[in-house]
Amino acid sequence: MTIPTDQIDAVRRFNRFYTSFVGALTDHFLGSDYGLTPMRVLYQVGAAGAAPPVAAEVAREMGLDRAQISRAVAELEAGGLLERSTDPDHARRQLLRLTEAGQVLYLRNIDLQRAEIGRHLDGMSGMARDRLVRAMAEVESLLGGKMERNIRIRPLEPGDMGWVIAAQTRLYVREYGWNGEYEALVLKILGDFAARQPSDREAGRIAEVDGVPMGAVFCMEKSPQVAQLRLLHVEAEARGLGLGGKLVDECLSFARTAGYGRIELWTNDVLSDARKLYQSRGFTLIDEATHHSFGVDLNGQNWGRDL
């Protein structure tokens, strides 16, 4: 496959920008007497905690060759920041530990980096910071980085319903070709919901990934004994993280706590992933009928289950 030159050059341009942004080219990273590579090794060893890591494993995680890791370790060792020893179980493996001075520098660097990044983020709005975090997570994911995602399901906060309206509309317009009728429907549903709040019979939940909203679901009252699951969605870039299942489970839990004996929902068969999720949570098909909505022909379905 031939990659367009403009795409390659865009990545090169970003690399030049980011290496300058983080000070990767300086010989005095974070004001220390060391460049980026030794300081990264210092961090990797410090982050390993009580179990000393093997030098070869640190090199592999960082993408360093034997000469690079050897130079970095020797430099840190000469500075009294790191010490190495032979693994008693494997004579050819070297274990790395921070000295007391190395531990002090390790913790100092973390504080300095957080303060430096905080200064860059301080001039941004909350929305801009969210965009930045999402973009960086996307870059890391696309380039194959290992990520530990912080997932949280939380109650609604001011501004969330506006986000749900915009996010769901964009998603269904982009993926299914629906028109503005869907946005009008979501506006009405959430407008009516908001007018009934506060209520101990209804609730909304937001799924966050790394502090950024990535999905939502609502539990609403259909009748005194029947709850209705509404407006479930997960952003495309967050699929595969189990958010949909967590949101549905949260909705079911709330419905039980609120005293409902049954829960139902309406969907369309084109939303195949959602249907599979509902089936996995015990929902069964009640009935279905074709209709023309949101600018397209659809097959609407009602699903339900006892609680």
pLDDT in tens, 283-306: 999 999 999 999 999 999 999 999
Q: State how far the Cα of 99 lies from the Cα of 118, in Å rounded to an integer.
A: 28
With a cut of 80, say whether residue 240 has pLDDT above it. Answer: yes
Domains of the chain: 5-123 (1.10.10.10), 151-306 (3.40.630.30)
Give the confidence band of 147 by pLDDT, cuts at 50, 70, 90. low
For residue 300, count CB atoms less than 10 angstroms from its CB and return exposed for 0-12, middle for 13-18, buried for 19 or more.
middle
Q: 265, 288, 273, 175: which is closest to 217 by C-alpha?
A: 265
The two structure tokens encoding residue 62: 């960082």
Cβ 300 vs Cβ 256: under 8 Å: no
Of 271, 207, 209, 212, the closest CA to residue 245 belongs to 207
Structure letter (DSSP) for residue 201 = S
Greater model confidence, 93 or 256? 256
Q: Which residue has the higher pLDDT, 247 or 136?
A: 247
**Is the pLDDT at 85 greater than 90, yes or no?**
no
**Three-class SS of residue 295?**
coil
Integer CA distances (angstroms), 246 to 9, 24, 61, 207, in order: 40, 40, 32, 8
What pLDDT does 208 receive? 94
Q: pLDDT band at 146, cuts 50/70/90?
A: low
Per-residue model confidence as pLDDT tens digits over 2-23: 889 999 999 999 989 988 888 7
Rounded to whole angstroms, how far apart are CA atoms 106 and 85?
A: 20
Distance CA 49, CA 56 (A): 17
Q: What is the pLDDT of residues 250-276, one digit of tens each?
A: 999 999 999 999 999 999 999 999 999
Query: pLDDT digits over 164-192, tens only?
Result: 999 999 999 999 999 999 999 999 999 99
Q: What is the pLDDT of residue 171?
A: 93
Q: Please say if the pLDDT value at position 33 is more than 70.
A: yes
172 vs 48: CA distance, rounded Å: 44
Greatest alpha-carbon span in the chain: 76
Measured CA to CA, the distance from residue 61 to residue 56 in angstroms comes to 9
For residue 223, the SS3 value is strand
Q: What is the pTM of this model?
A: 0.62
What integer is the mean pLDDT of 210-238?
Answer: 94
Dihedral Cα 226, 276, 147, 115, nearest 10 deg: -30
Residue 145 has pLDDT above 90, yes or no: no
Three-class secondary structure of residue 96 per DSSP = strand
What residues have CB less than 8 Å from 80, skipping those under 6 apart? 99, 101, 102
Query: Rounded to the nearest 5 degrees, what angle is found at the Cα of 137, between the Cα atoms of 131 and 141?
Result: 145
* Token code pair at residue 283: 């929902």
| DSSP code, position 30 | G
